[in-house]
Amino acid sequence: MKVNKVFAVKLLLVAAVMVGFTSCSKGGSSSKGGSRATGWKINDKKGGFQYASNFKKQETGPGLVLVEGGTFTMGKVADDPMHDWNNTPNQQHVQSFYMDETEVTNMMYMEYLDWLKRVFPPDQESYANIYEGAIPDTLVWRNRLGYNETMTNNYLRHPAYAEYPVVGVNWIQATEFSKWRTNRVNEAILEREKFLKKDAKVTDAKAESTFDTETYLAAPTKTYGGDSNIVLQKGQKGGAKNNGTAGANGGSSASKNVYAQRSSGLILPEYRLPTEAEWEYAAAADVGQRQYNLYKGQKKYPWSGRYTRTNRRQVKGDQLANFKQGKGDYGGIAGWSDDNADITNKVKSYPPNDFGLYDMAGNVAEWVADVYRPMVDDEANDFNYYRGNVYMKNKIGEDGKVELVTAESQKMDTLPNGKVIARNFIGQIAQVPVDDKETYLRQNFDKSDERNYRDGDKQSTRWFKFGDSEDNAKVDDSKRMYDSPKHNVSVDSIGKMIRKYDKSSKRTTLVNDDVRVYKGGSWRDRAYWLDPAQRRYFPQDMATDYIGFRCAMSRVGPKSDIKKSPTNRRQR
C-alpha cells in the first residue's frame, strides 16, 4: 500500500508539473496572431503593429539559381608553375546567394540599350552620352594582323548571336547594367502586385519619370516624378489588394496611403556582380563531390575529373568547355570540332556544373566585383570576403528629406580612355560618402573608402614610419606600394578632349584601385585558366573580346530551403 501511495503521489506531482508547463506555455507564447513580446494582436484591423506574417521565402529573380553557401578553400589551384603567390590557399565561408544561370547575353544587354534609348533619347544633347556610354566596345574584335570585321559589325546586334555572351563591356558598364536590372525587376514585381499602374513601365517611362528601387523605398511619392496615377496606394481604385503585407505608414493592410517597403517581403535585393569568393565557390561546385561533411578530393575544373573531355558514353571525347586547345587551335578541325566553337558559343552549349550553372569555365571570362590585390587577406576576414567596399549614404537636403538627382545634378564621368558614361540617373537618390557620424567609435570600419584596407594605405607603403606624420598626410607617389601609370583626360575651353599619357619609365606595377579581378578561362585561353581558382586583373574602364559577366543577388533568410540531417547524403 505504501508503494502505491508513493507512486500515486509521484504521479500527481508529475501531472502538476505538466499542467504548470502547459499553463506557462499558454501564458508565455502568443495566441494565434498574437505577439510573443507583448501578447498584442498583430495585423489588427483596428491598427497597431502590422507585419508580413505570411511571408514564406525570397522570390527567385529572373535568370537566377540558388547557390547554397558553405566553406571552401579559396585560391587552391591544381597547377601554379609560376609560384607568384597570387593564389595562396585560404579557407573562406560564403553565404547562400543567387547567381545567373548563364552569362549575360547579347539579347539581355540589347534590352538594356533599348530601354536607355527610349527613356534617354540620344538625339537630345543632354542625354547623348547616356546611351553612347552604355554601348559595348565592338572594336575589341579588331586585331592588327587579323580579319574580324564580321564580328565587329555583327556580334552585338545580329540575331545569330542573340544567345551568345556579351563582350566589349567594361567593369563599370557591367555594374551599371546590374543596377538597371534591379530596378526593372522590382518595377515588374510591384506592377504585378498592383502597387504600380499596369504597363506604366512601357507607356509612361521617360527621363524625368522612371522607377528606382531605393527612391521608391525612401520616398515613394517621388517615384515616377511624383505621378500618383502611376504609384498606387492600397485602398485606391486599381491599387494593391489586401495581401497581408505591412504598410509603409504602419497602418493596417486595409488602410489607405500604404506603399510596399522592405518589410513587405516583395522587393528583391539588388542584382550585382558576384564577389570573387562567390564566383570561385560557385564555379568550383565542390558540393557535387561531398560525402557527409567532407569534400572528396580537389576538382581541377568546374566538373568532376581532371580532364577537359567527357567520358559519358553517348558523347565520349567531347570537350566540356569552350577554350583554346593549342597554338592556332580554337575549335578543332572541320568536321570534327572538339568544342563546336571558334569564338564564343551559345550559352548552355555545354553541361552545367553541380550548382546548375553553365559556362563557369570557358566561353568568356567574367568580371567580378573585387578590386585586385596579389593576396586575399584571410587574417582580416574569412566570411563573405570582398575587397572593394566604398560606403555611401543618401544625401539629405535642407528640408530634411532625401535629395533626388535632377537633370542639372546628374553626374557624367569621363574615363581615362575618354569614354563618357552616366554614373547616376534622374530620379535616383543622390549619394554622398559616409562620414564620422557613421564611423565614430566603430571597430568594423573607419572610413568611406575601404578598398586599401591593410594593403595600399599609408601603413602599407615601402617607406612607412610609425608616428612620422599625421594620419591624413599625403604620401609621396614615388613611395607608394602601387605606383601604376596615371593617364588623364581633360577638356579644354572649347570642349576639345585632351588625352594625356603617363609615359614615365619608373612605374613598377599596373595595380591600382581601378583594376578589377576577372575569373574563368575564355575562348582565347588555354585549359590552364579554366581552373576556378585562377585569377587575373584588368582596368575597370577597359573592355576585351573575351571578358563578359553574369549577375548575382544576395540571399535573405535561411541558408537552404531543404531540411537536412547530419547523415544527409543529398546528391545534386
Do 139 and 282 lie in one domain? The reply is yes
Would you say residue 568 has pLDDT above 70? no
Helix (H, G, I), strand (E, B) or coil at 69: coil
Domain closes at, from 265, 288, 323: 265
Do 208 and 313 lie in one domain? The reply is no
Do 224 and 256 lie in one domain? The reply is yes
Per-residue pLDDT, averaged over 113-136, amounts to: 94
Which pTM value belongs to this model?
A: 0.88
Percent of the chain predicted with pLDDT > 70:
84
End-to-end CA distance of the chain: 64
Question: Given pLDDT bands bounded at 50, 70 and 90, which one contains residue 571?
Answer: very low
Do the domain assignments include residue 4? no
Do 216 and 238 lie in one domain? The reply is yes
Top-confidence residue, 505 or 457: 505
Do 301 and 329 lie in one domain? The reply is yes
Distance CA 126, CA 534 (A): 43
Which of 79-88, 390-399, 463-472, 535-544 has the weakest average pLDDT? Answer: 463-472
Per-residue pLDDT, averaged over 424-432, amounts to: 93
Which of 107-111, 282-286, 339-343, 477-481 has the weakest average pLDDT? Answer: 477-481
Which of 332-336, 388-392, 457-461, 526-530 has the weakest average pLDDT? Answer: 457-461
Would you say residue 74 has pLDDT above 70? yes
Helix (H, G, I), strand (E, B) or coil at 223: helix
Do 284 and 354 lie in one domain? The reply is yes
Do 376 and 274 lie in one domain? The reply is yes
Q: What pLDDT was estimated at residue 241?
A: 47
Would you say residue 318 has pLDDT above 90? no
Per-residue pLDDT, averaged over 8-33, amounts to: 51
Domain closes at, from 265, 296, 315: 265
The domain tally of the chain equals 2
Three-class SS of 255-278: CCCCCCCHHHCCCCCCCECCCHHH
Do 257 and 278 lie in one domain? The reply is no
**Which among 305-309, 361-365, 412-416 has the top mean pLDDT?**
361-365
Full domain range(s) for residue 218: 194-265
Do the domain assignments include residue 405? no
Q: What is the distance, to the nearest Å, from the Cα of residue 335 to the centroid of all Cα atoms in its chain?
A: 40
Do 253 and 301 lie in one domain? The reply is no
Do 62 and 163 lie in one domain? The reply is yes
Do the domain assignments include residue 105? yes
Do the domain assignments include residue 41? no
Q: What is the CATH number of the domain that holds 332?
A: 3.90.1580.10
Per-residue pLDDT, averaged over 420-425, amounts to: 88
Distance CA 84, CA 441 (A): 38
Q: What pLDDT was estimated at residue 248?
A: 42
Three-class SS of 143-182: ECCECCHHHHHHCCCCHHHCCCECCCCCHHHHHHHHHHHH
